[in-house]
Amino acid sequence: MTHELDGKVALVTGGTTGIGRETAIAFARAGAKVIVSGRGIERGRETVSSIQKEGGEATFIQTDISQATEVEAMIAKAVETHERLDCVFNNAGTEGKLAPITELTEEDLNLVKAKVQLQLTPFRRGCLLNLIQECGMHSFAVRVEAGGFLRL
Residue 120 lies in a domain: yes
How much is the pLDDT for 136? 45
- Report residue 110's pLDDT band, with 50, 70 and 90 as the boundaries: low
Total number of domains constituting the chain: 1
Is residue 3 one of the residues assigned to a domain?
A: no
Residue bearing the bigger pLDDT, 30 or 125: 30
Is residue 136 domain-resident?
yes
Q: Where are the beta strands (DSSP E) in the chain?
A: 9-13, 33-38, 57-62, 87-90, 127-130
1 within a domain of the structure (yes/no): no
**% of the chain exceeding 90 in pLDDT:** 43
pLDDT tens, residue by residue, 61-76? 999 887 878 888 998 8
Range of the domain at 112: 9-150
**pLDDT score recorded for residue 41:** 97
CA dist., res. 3 & res. 111, Å (int): 37
Residue 81 sits in a domain whose CATH number is 3.40.50.720
